[in-house]
Amino acid sequence: MHIGHNIKRIREIQGIKQEAFGQMCRSRYSQQRISDFENMIALDEPLLEELANALGVSPDFVKSFKDENVIYNIQNNGNIFNDNAVDHSTNSSQHTQPTIHHDGADKMMALLEKFIEEDRAKTQSIAELSRAVLDLTLEVKKLKEEK
């Protein structure tokens, strides 16, 4: 069982880039740190829980994740993360997948709104700075003409 690989595959299936995923985590990890985690065979439980929560899944889901289960569920049910799409009449855990919680989408939306607000503030600062430079340019021009 390669936990880092499982984290990576779940992230990729959800269409989340490493950098965005890092920002979804409580600890705000860098893209490089997420890459490091995804290359680890084992992760300690608190870290696994944090990463799983950011992806909207449970640590047990990450531990039991298998690509072939995703393919099976897509082919047979059209849904890769729905408990109800699984035939629970068998004792095999091969086809069971917990439900994904969409906390990640809410976190991404909040992060996007924060970035937009920061971008507005930066744009405002650039506009004010541009006005100040223009004013200084006009002042220098006046001083040169007075000589």
Average pLDDT, rounded, for the chain: 80
CB atoms within 10 A of CB 129: 10
- pLDDT of residue 10 exceeding 80: yes
Domain segments of the chain as ranges: 1-101, 102-147
Q: Provide the whole-model pTM.
A: 0.51
pLDDT in the model for residue 102: 56
Which tokens hold the place of 134? 């223009």
Classify domain 1-101 at the CATH superfamily level: lambda repressor-like DNA-binding domains (1.10.260.40)
Long-range contacts of 9-12 (CB under 8 A, 24+ apart): 9/65, 9/67, 9/70, 10/55, 10/57, 10/61, 10/62, 10/65, 11/38, 11/55
Read off the pLDDT band of 93 (50, 70, 90): very low
- pLDDT of residue 13 exceeding 80: yes
The pLDDT of 77-86, averaged and rounded, is 47
Q: What percent of the chain has pLDDT over 70?
A: 75
pLDDT in the model for residue 126: 86
The pLDDT of 10-32, averaged and rounded, is 94
Which tokens hold the place of 4? 């880092």
Residues 38, 42, 43: CA angle, nearest 5 degrees: 75
Q: How many helices (H) and strands (E) does the chain have?
A: 7, 0
Asked if residue 3 lies in contact with residue 65, where contact means CB atoms within 8 angstroms, the answer is: no
